[in-house]
């Protein structure tokens, strides 16, 4: 026989006299219940062979404590677990609260008439919340039973009992007879004299002798009636032992009982053997094996004359067994009972080993066997009540997703569970919430009872709550994700376990951001309306990311639902498409994109014509014109442009503009007369032979921009005047005046916003650009031009203080500076009417260092400025900013403190204090 699972452990199956039970509408006390099945208010009593059975419905179950008292005449005796095993009481209760109490007819406190009629009285106390809050019931039961065999063996869940017929026993010679048989049925231990039974010898297998009182104190029960002698023993006492019979472990009690009769002293040898194992399990069936011949109980050859199966102490007939799928069979060595797992006569119970949900199935089969030896009529009747519980079985937990994405609510049902499971909490991505907290937050948690007695739990969570995660697998699709961990507990042990559920739903519900734009005379005005995903995207303006720094220059504003920018038409982020003498067509490209998935979420391509006088014709024959880098010639550097005469290069240029200033009779300008007009015309071209390198490009077209100036040849003006004789002829005198020059520090390269006096000292980071502008003030004379002669920086406010560092020397950047000054072109716009009056340059923020130590964390910038007359032949610095000789920059170092004397057309200016930001 293979080893058996779920060995019976009777020592743990003691009577649970403090059972938790519930009471609902008990009504009046139940009295005088007589023969057969009786029932009142959920309490039923019936007779089951040599047992009485008392049943309490679940209506009297969960929530209260049950206490049982046996009534013996005028005494009420509290039946404790130890007394129950000694006196023949046992109890079983399922998780629903259905309770059964079994009482042996030969047990203590049982009134016996002729060993055929047995009566008992019990008092049941049910405590609700406190000892004072109690409901009591009196129960009386009478059973008739006369089918005693010569030897009856009873195996209940907490004790073994063996009784034998002692009528007509032979007296053991030489022993004293019993004086008085009237005290035979008194309670154990009522008297120092032990009536009837003198002593007992237990075989373990070594003999151990005890007088009756000692045996009772050890927990054994003994009783003599008119015709029978009964002995009871709890399981696993010191005087019992284990033995395998046909591969089935058995608990054995062997005892010799010395008792008095009227004829003298008799000795009766009794044996009880009860199985503690012999159960095999499959996923679908329980197979219970009992030895066909229990050798401790029977000697020699025996045959089975009666064989019955039952449930919960009650026999079943063949029809009942067939209806339930039970089978009872015999093999050469065993009696086999097969029971389907899940039969309605048993019950399931929840467990949580290793925090995982498992269930067990428990059922209490009964087996009754009658053996008859071949050589005698002394039958042995064997009755076993044997509760069986399967090993914990993993029980799948199903999560049924009832989510309808269009309703934007997750709805999931989890289960099914037995009734003894409760939901305690749910773990969301943001934390753990109890069921009460879930409902308070609007996450509806419900319990659902199913028709088969199980239950499920559900929770509903809206997509838009903070616990729901979301991402976009496609530009217009949102996937909502909700990971949950359900925290359960098994009652009454409060054993925790958990189940993880991941919910996901997708909706095409994304509203993308939208871009709109218009133009005024000088700017692009763009507004971006956010979609329902918020501002979770990148913005490109032209070819640049819209950073906070760029946003400051573009007047970035955000009100939560929109953001707007104002882009000057000549900003570096725009592109010039076409230019005329009076306007320029400029385009602004904007792109909204998801940097994670590289998705384009929106774009704007806005082109507008802006007024721009590219050519100005002055009455003195001076012509100034601006050439712009068009998008159609992307590789063009404006510095490469020239007039027809290739020696006429831009007066200044940058990466987008070239500014030419020339006389109408120079640089290859042609003249044409028609009607009353004279037209001067030149052309801006791309120099195809720059620095000896032939410019060839299969992609870029030629660049040409025509320059035209019209002058009236003959014009008559009528002027009315009145004369008045003078006393003296007027004489011209040489006039003197003052020209004012200012130097300002701009906030960025656009030169639109400048630091004011109250902003100083200005703080800048190391190597952060400093944008300076020098402007001739209060003059409208286009013949004048501002030229930066020398600029330098000091650590003190005094111009000639030391240390100092050259920035511009003789109109050119300092060649010894690793971060040389950069000259910026000046174009005519709303703030600059005469570009020659303004000079712009930038340097990197620095500090003076000596021996790797910062001398001072502030600088001042000073400049000597020369004001030149462009119509007067000039030499030296007035030839232009950074004069070239034979293609080499001319530099003449001037020591600090030895500046050349100021001329009448030279001005000195200085900046405010600029601090290094650490």
Each residue of 621-641: pLDDT tens digit?
899 999 998 888 888 889 889
Q: What pLDDT sits at residue 888?
A: 34
Report the run of H or E that residue 439 belongs to, with start and end: helix 435-440
Reply yes or no on whether the pLDDT at 451 is more than 60. yes
| Averaged pLDDT, 232-237 | 95
Note whether residue 648 is domain-resident: yes
Provide the 3-class DSSP secondary structure of residue 274. strand
Confidence of residue 563 (pLDDT cuts 50, 70, 90): very high
Note whether residue 721 is domain-resident: no
Q: What pLDDT sits at residue 176?
A: 33
Provide the 3-class DSSP secondary structure of residue 911. coil
Reply yes or no on whether the pLDDT at 38 is more than 80. no
Reply yes or no on whether the pLDDT at 109 is more than 70. yes
Tokens of 405: 């994405």
| Averaged pLDDT, 530-540 | 89
Report the run of H or E that residue 216 belongs to, with start and end: helix 212-217
Residue with tokens 């055929």: 116
| Averaged pLDDT, 427-456 | 95
Residues in the chain: 918
Rounded CA separation 271/253 (Å): 6
| Averaged pLDDT, 875-882 | 74
Residues 642 and 684 in one domain: yes
Burial of 673 (0-12, 13-18, 19+ CB in 10 A): exposed
Residues 487 and 529 in one domain: no
Reply yes or no on whether the pLDDT at 185 is more than 60. no
Rounded CA separation 840/251 (Å): 110
355-375 residues labelled b (16+ CB within 10 A) or e (exposed):
eebbbbbebbbbbbbbbbbee
Reply yes or no on whether the pLDDT at 62 is more than 70. no
Residues 376 and 445 in one domain: no
For residues 888 and 56, which has the higher predicted lDDT (pLDDT)? 56
| Averaged pLDDT, 282-300 | 90
Reply yes or no on whether the pLDDT at 15 is more than 70. no
Rounded CA separation 276/10 (Å): 8
Residues 376 and 417 in one domain: no
61-75, 209-223, 247-261, 629-643: the lowest-pLDDT one: 61-75
Note whether residue 453 is domain-resident: yes
pTM, two decimals, is: 0.61
Minimal CA–CA distance to 785: which of 667, 900, 872?
A: 872
Largest CA distance in the chain: 188
Residues 353 and 429 in one domain: no
Minimal CA–CA distance to 198: which of 256, 115, 120, 139?
A: 256
Q: What pLDDT sits at residue 861?
A: 95
Reply yes or no on whether the pLDDT at 898 is more than 90. no
Reply yes or no on whether the pLDDT at 766 is more than 60. yes
Residues 782, 783, 784, 785, CA torsion sign: positive
Reply yes or no on whether the pLDDT at 896 is more than 60. no
Q: What pLDDT sits at residue 131?
A: 64
| Averaged pLDDT, 288-296 | 92
**574-604: per-residue pLDDT in tens?**
999 988 888 999 999 999 998 888 899 999 9
The C-alpha R_g of the chain, in whole angstroms, comes to 57
12-21, 193-202, 270-279, 739-748: the lowest-pLDDT one: 12-21
Q: What pLDDT sits at residue 904?
A: 52
Beta pairing partners, 776 = 741
Cβ within 8 Å of residue 531, ≥6 positions away: 510, 511, 512, 513, 514, 601
Note whether residue 722 is domain-resident: no
Q: What pLDDT sits at residue 277?
A: 94
Rounded CA separation 325/320 (Å): 9
**683-694: per-residue pLDDT in tens?**
998 876 555 444
Reply yes or no on whether the pLDDT at 4 is more than 50. no
Beta pairing partners, 429 = none
Q: What pLDDT sits at residue 14?
A: 31
914-916 and 762-764 as β-strands: parallel, antiparallel, unpaired?
parallel
Last residue of one domain, picked from the residues 543, 578, 611: 611
Residues 566 and 480 in one domain: no
Tokens of 555: 């007047």
Q: What pLDDT sits at residue 714?
A: 80
Beta pairing partners, 338 = 287, 327
| Averaged pLDDT, 387-400 | 95
For residues 778 and 359, which has the higher predicted lDDT (pLDDT)? 359
CATH number at residue 128: 2.60.40
Query: Could you give the count of Cα atoms lying within 13 Å of 239 in the half-sphere of its Cβ?
Result: 24
Q: What pLDDT sits at residue 916?
A: 83
Reply yes or no on whether the pLDDT at 255 is more than 90. yes
Last residue of one domain, picked from the residues 106, 129, 146: 146
134-138, 305-309, 442-446: the lowest-pLDDT one: 134-138
Residues 868 and 747 in one domain: yes
Residues 306 and 403 in one domain: no
341-355, 449-463, 706-720: the lowest-pLDDT one: 706-720
Residues 415 and 344 in one domain: no
| Averaged pLDDT, 563-568 | 95
Backbone phi, psi, residue 47, to 5° = -105, 135
Note whether residue 32 is domain-resident: no
Reply yes or no on whether the pLDDT at 447 is more than 50. yes
Residues 594 and 638 in one domain: no
Rounded CA separation 35/44 (Å): 12
CATH number at residue 866: 2.60.40.4100
Residue pair 482/502 in contact (Cβ under 8 Å)? The answer is yes
Residues 40, 44, 47, 51, CA torsion sign: negative
Rounded CA separation 743/909 (Å): 7
DSSP 526: E
Q: Domains in the chain: how many in total?
A: 6
Q: What pLDDT sits at residue 39?
A: 44
| Averaged pLDDT, 854-863 | 88
Reply yes or no on whether the pLDDT at 504 is more than 80. yes
Reply yes or no on whether the pLDDT at 296 is more than 80. yes
Residue with tokens 């502030």: 858
Cβ within 8 Å of residue 312, ≥6 positions away: 53, 92, 100, 345, 364, 366
822-824 and 906-910 as β-strands: parallel, antiparallel, unpaired?
unpaired
Residues 61 and 105 in one domain: yes
Burial of 656 (0-12, 13-18, 19+ CB in 10 A): buried
Confidence of residue 568 (pLDDT cuts 50, 70, 90): very high
Domain of residue 365 covers 278-393
Most confident of 90-94, 551-555, 829-833: 551-555
Reply yes or no on whether the pLDDT at 152 is more than 90. yes
Reply yes or no on whether the pLDDT at 34 is more than 70. no
Q: What pLDDT sits at residue 747?
A: 92
455-462 and 409-417 as β-strands: parallel, antiparallel, unpaired?
antiparallel
Note whether residue 11 is domain-resident: no
Q: What pLDDT sits at residue 581?
A: 83
| Averaged pLDDT, 842-864 | 87
HEC-encoded secondary structure of 292-345: CCCCCCCCCCEEEEEEEEEECCEECCHHHHHHHCCEEEECCCEEEEEEECCCCC
Q: What pLDDT sits at residue 56?
A: 85
Reply yes or no on whether the pLDDT at 911 is more than 70. yes
Query: Could you give the count of Cα atoms lying within 13 Å of 328 in the half-sphere of its Cβ?
Result: 21
Residues 868 and 746 in one domain: yes
Confidence of residue 135 (pLDDT cuts 50, 70, 90): confident
Note whether residue 830 is domain-resident: yes
Q: What pLDDT sits at residue 125?
A: 85
Reply yes or no on whether the pLDDT at 323 is more than 90. yes
Last residue of one domain, picked from the residues 611, 637, 658: 611
Residue pair 567/573 in contact (Cβ under 8 Å)? The answer is yes
Reply yes or no on whether the pLDDT at 721 is more than 70. no
Reply yes or no on whether the pLDDT at 7 is more than 70. no
Reply yes or no on whether the pLDDT at 736 is more than 50. yes
Reply yes or no on whether the pLDDT at 31 is more than 60. no
101-115, 385-399, 635-649, 696-710: the lowest-pLDDT one: 696-710
Q: What pLDDT sits at residue 371?
A: 93
Rounded CA separation 612/582 (Å): 5
| Averaged pLDDT, 95-115 | 89
Rounded CA separation 45/48 (Å): 10
Q: What pLDDT sits at residue 1?
A: 38
Tokens of 399: 């999560």
Note whether residue 8 is domain-resident: no
């Amino acid at each position: 026989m293979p080893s058996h699972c779920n060995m019976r452990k009777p020592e743990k199956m003691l009577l649970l006299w403090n059972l938790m039970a519930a009471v609902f509408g008990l009504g009046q006390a139940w009295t005088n219940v007589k023969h057969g099945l009786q029932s009142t208010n959920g309490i039923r009593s019936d007779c089951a062979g040599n047992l009485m059975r008392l049943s309490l419905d679940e209506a009297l179950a969960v929530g209260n404590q049950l206490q049982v008292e046996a009534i013996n005449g005028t005494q009420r005796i509290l039946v404790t677990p130890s007394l129950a095993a000694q006196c023949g009481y046992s109890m079983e209760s399922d998780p629903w609260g259905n309770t059964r109490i079994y009482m042996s007819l030969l047990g203590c406190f049982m009134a016996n008439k002729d060993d055929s009629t047995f009566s008992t009285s019990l008092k049941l106390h049910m405590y609700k919340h406190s000892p004072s809050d109690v409901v009591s019931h009196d129960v009386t039961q009478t059973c008739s039973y006369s089918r005693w065999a010569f030897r009856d063996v009873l195996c209940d869940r907490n004790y073994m009992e063996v009784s034998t017929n002692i009528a007509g026993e032979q007296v053991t010679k030489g022993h004293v007879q019993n004086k008085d048989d009237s005290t035979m049925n008194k309670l154990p231990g009522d008297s120092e004299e032990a009536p009837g039974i003198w002593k007992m010898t237990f075989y373990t297998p070594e003999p151990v002798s005890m007088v009756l009182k000692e045996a009772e104190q050890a927990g054994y029960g003994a009783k003599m009636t008119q015709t029978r002698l009964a002995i009871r023993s709890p399981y696993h006492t010191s005087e019992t032992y284990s033995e395998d019979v046909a591969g089935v472990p058995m608990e054995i009690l062997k005892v010799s009982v010395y008792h008095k009769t009227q004829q003298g002293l008799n000795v009766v040898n009794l044996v009880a053997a009860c199985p503690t194992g012999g159960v095999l399990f499959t996923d679908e069936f329980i197979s219970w094996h009992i030895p066909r011949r229990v050798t401790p109980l029977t000697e020699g050859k025996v045959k089975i004359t009666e064989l019955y199966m039952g449930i919960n102490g009650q026999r079943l007939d063949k029809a009942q067994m067939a209806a339930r799928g039970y089978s009872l069979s015999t093999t050469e060595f065993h009696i086999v009972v097969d029971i389907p797992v899940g039969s309605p006569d048993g019950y399931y119970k929840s467990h949580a080993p290793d925090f995982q949900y498992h269930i067990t199935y428990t059922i209490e089969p009964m087996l009754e066997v009658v053996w008859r030896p071949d050589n005698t009529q002394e039958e042995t009747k064997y009755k076993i009540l044997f509760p069986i519980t399967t090993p914990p079985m993993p029980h799948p937990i199903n999560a049924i997703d009832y989510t309808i994405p269009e309703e934007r609510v997750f709805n999931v049902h989890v289960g099914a569970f037995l009734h003894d499971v409760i939901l305690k909490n749910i773990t969301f991505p943001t934390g753990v919430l109890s069921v009460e907290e879930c409902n308070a937050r609007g996450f509806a948690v419900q319990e659902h009872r199913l028709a088969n007695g199980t239950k499920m739990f559900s929770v509903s969570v809206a997509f838009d709550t903070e616990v729901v995660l979301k991402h976009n697998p496609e530009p217009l699709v949102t996937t909502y994700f909700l990971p949950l961990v359900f925290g359960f507990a098994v009652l009454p042990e409060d054993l925790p376990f958990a189940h993880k559920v991941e919910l996901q739903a997708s909706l095409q519900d994304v509203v993308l951001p939208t871009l709109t734009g218009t133009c005024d005379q000088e700017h692009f005005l763009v507004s971006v309306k956010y979609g329902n995903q918020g501002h979770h995207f990148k913005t490109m303006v032209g070819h640049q990311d819209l950073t906070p720094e760029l946003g400051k220059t573009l007047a970035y504003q955000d009100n939560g639902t929109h953001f707007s920018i104002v882009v000057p038409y000549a900003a570096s982020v725009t592109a010039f498409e076409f230019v005329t003498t009076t306007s320029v067509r400029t385009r602004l490209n904007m792109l909204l994109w998801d940097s994670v998935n590289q998705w384009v979420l929106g774009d704007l391509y806005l082109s507008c014509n802006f007024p721009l006088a590219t050519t100005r014709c002055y009455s003195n024959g001076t012509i100034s014109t601006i050439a712009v880098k068009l998008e159609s010639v992307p590789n063009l550097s404006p510095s490469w442009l020239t007039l027809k005469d290739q020696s006429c290069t831009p007066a200044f240029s940058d990466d987008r503009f070239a500014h030419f200033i020339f006389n109408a009779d120079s640089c290859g300008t042609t003249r044409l007369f028609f009607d009353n007009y004279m037209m001067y015309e030149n052309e801006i071209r791309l120099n195809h032979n720059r620095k000896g390198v032939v410019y060839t490009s299969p992609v870029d077209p030629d660049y040409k921009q025509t320059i035209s100036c019209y002058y009236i040849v003959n014009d008559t003006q009528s002027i009315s005047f009145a004369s008045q004789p003078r006393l003296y002829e007027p004489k011209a005198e040489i006039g003197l005046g003052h020209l004012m020059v200012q130097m300002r520090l701009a906030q960025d390269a656009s030169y639109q916003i400048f630091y004011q006096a109250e902003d100083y000292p200005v703080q800048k980071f190391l190597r952060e650009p400093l944008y300076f502008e020098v402007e001739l003030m209060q003059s409208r004379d286009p013949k004048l031009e501002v030229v930066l002669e020398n600029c330098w920086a000091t650590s003190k406010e005094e111009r000639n203080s030391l240390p100092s560092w050259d920035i511009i020397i003789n109109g050119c950047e300092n060649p010894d500076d690793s971060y040389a000054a950069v000259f910026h072109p000046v174009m005519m716009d709303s703030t600059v009417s005469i570009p020659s009056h303004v000079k712009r340059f930038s340097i990197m923020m620095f500090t003076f260092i000596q021996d790797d130590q910062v001398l001072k964390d502030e600088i001042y910038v000073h400049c000597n400025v020369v004001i030149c007359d462009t119509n007067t032949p000039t030499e030296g610095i007035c030839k232009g900013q950074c004069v070239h000789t034979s293609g080499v920059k001319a530099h003449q170092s001037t020591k600090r403190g030895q500046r050349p004397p100021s001329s009448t057309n030279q001005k000195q200016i200085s900046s405010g204090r600029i601090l290094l930001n650490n």
